[in-house]
Amino acid sequence: MTIKRRQLLKNAAYLSAAMAMPLGLSTACYRGQKQRVVIVGGGFSGATAARYLSLWAPDIDITLIEKNSQFISCPQSNLMLSGNRNLQQLTHEYVNLQADKAIRFIQSEVTAVDVDKRQLWLADDSRVDYDRLIIAPGVDFIYDQFPILATAEAQQHVPHAWKAGAQTELMANQLKSMRQGGLVIMTVPAAPFRCPPGPYERACQIALYLKNHNPSGKLLILDANPDIVSKKALFTEAWQQLYDGFIEYQPMNPVESVNVANLEVESFFESYKADVLNVIPPQRAGKVAAMAGVINIDNRWCDVDYLTYESTAVERVHVIGDAVAAKVPKSAHIANQQAKVCAAAVIALLRDELPEQQPVFSNTCYSFVDGQQAGHVAAVYRYDKDSRDMLPHPSGGVSESASEQEGLYAQGWAENIWADTLG
């Protein structure tokens, strides 16, 4: 087994510090001052990290920086397109985190990161110092291939609806305004991408809307992937049994150009004109990760030590959530689980203790095939000391078919993870 020199030195430092310090006395206590942990991003991973740091180590100085005033859930946001959810049902306040006396909540945007001085700069030119930084930046879109879509004006005509909120409402309204017999075109980028919202669940919700309100309409899916990426059997069954004649699926047919004015796309095989056009661009780690210099995989993702989620590029900077280059789904459940492992590890590091050496976590992803029926995929991931990665453990599985019972489970799962994330 190859052991990184950096990790070896880290482990030696942990042991040396432990031997030098009185039993049970943390570095922070020894110095007589609080250690400072700053979290950037209040989504599923960042909010969870802040909350569990507060629960497990309220003696730490915790700061959470989030630019948005409200939390809007990507899970279940696709159901807005069929009319089975509204934005209010998916919108949550940060009141519990803001009321937590152990957390300083700052609503602002990070404009610069100085990893050498361990400082962040905010939109109001104020400075925040840290001892450990946790970045939960989510994803940004890659518009290299479609620079025309990078502007807010273009996205009013061709929404991505991939970050739940105004874009999702816009696309739902476009579906309502579409002519009878119109064509909806949805593109799917090559994996990996954030999920949820999932593209194939989205297809079901669009088809459901057409079936109920525009029965002569049609959905065309142009997928850059060779096949359905997740829950293939579940979605194939739903498309055949529930939406026969409403969905045309074309794998291995990536979009090569987009005409915003005419709602036209040119794919690998053919050109199409849409009445409603939904282009989901490829994705990379959010821009705060770029500011901190922790994007080091394919110029898109962040490599981390999976015992601590510390960046392999920059010391004392941890990355969690969708931005991580991991062999796990970019899901809300994974983001929540990574946050807890990271929070525990950061506490251990600040106390000069050895972090957990065998982390284990699970993932469950639900997808609705209509307004009530859902199915799931579940898996357990264990740390593999040889590959130094989180790898799937024989367990879990995929629903044989969707059901209303699983739809109730999906709703319960959502309510539980919202509560676990936000308090």
Tokens of 107: 């609503």
Strand 218-223 with 183-188, pairing: parallel
Q: How far is CA 47 from the centre of its chain?
A: 12
Whole-angstrom Cα distance, residue 134 to residue 288? 11
Contact criterion met (CB below 8 Å) for 199 and 280: yes
DSSP string, 195-230: -SSPHHHHHHHHHHHHHHH-TT-EEEEEESSSS--S
pLDDT of res. 33: 81
Q: Read off φ and ψ for residue 325, nearest 5 degrees.
A: -85, 85
86 CB-near residues (< 8 Å, 6+ apart): 80
**pLDDT value at position 89?**
98
Tell me what pLDDT residue 395 has: 86
Pull the structure tokens for residue 302: 């962040």
pLDDT given at position 268: 85
Tokens 């991991």 locate to 326
Task: Characterize the bridge pairing of strands 36-40 and 61-66.
Answer: parallel
Domains of the chain in sequence order: 5-67+108-141+283-357 (3.50.50.60), 147-278 (3.50.50.60)
Cα 172 from Cα 139, distance rounded (Å) = 22
Q: How far apart are CA 263 and CA 282, in angstroms?
A: 19
User: In terms of DSSP bridges, do strands 247-250 and 218-223 run parallel, antiparallel, or are they unpaired?
Assistant: parallel
Number of Cβ within 10 Å of residue 245's Cβ equals 11
**Per-residue pLDDT of the chain in tens (423 residues, 90 and over written 9):** 333 434 433 443 333 333 233 233 333 333 458 999 999 999 999 999 999 999 999 999 999 999 999 999 999 999 999 999 999 999 999 999 999 999 999 999 999 999 999 999 999 999 999 999 999 999 999 999 999 999 999 999 999 999 999 999 999 999 999 999 999 999 999 999 999 999 999 999 999 999 999 999 999 999 999 999 999 999 999 999 999 999 999 999 999 999 999 999 999 889 999 999 999 999 999 999 999 999 999 999 999 999 999 999 999 999 999 999 999 999 999 999 999 999 999 999 999 999 999 999 999 999 999 999 999 999 999 999 999 999 999 888 999 999 999 999 999 999 999 999 999
First CA to last CA distance, the chain: 41
Q: Kindly give, in sequence order, each residue whose CB lies less than 8 Å from that of residue 205, ignoring residues fewer than 6 positions away.
A: 78, 79, 81, 82, 84, 368
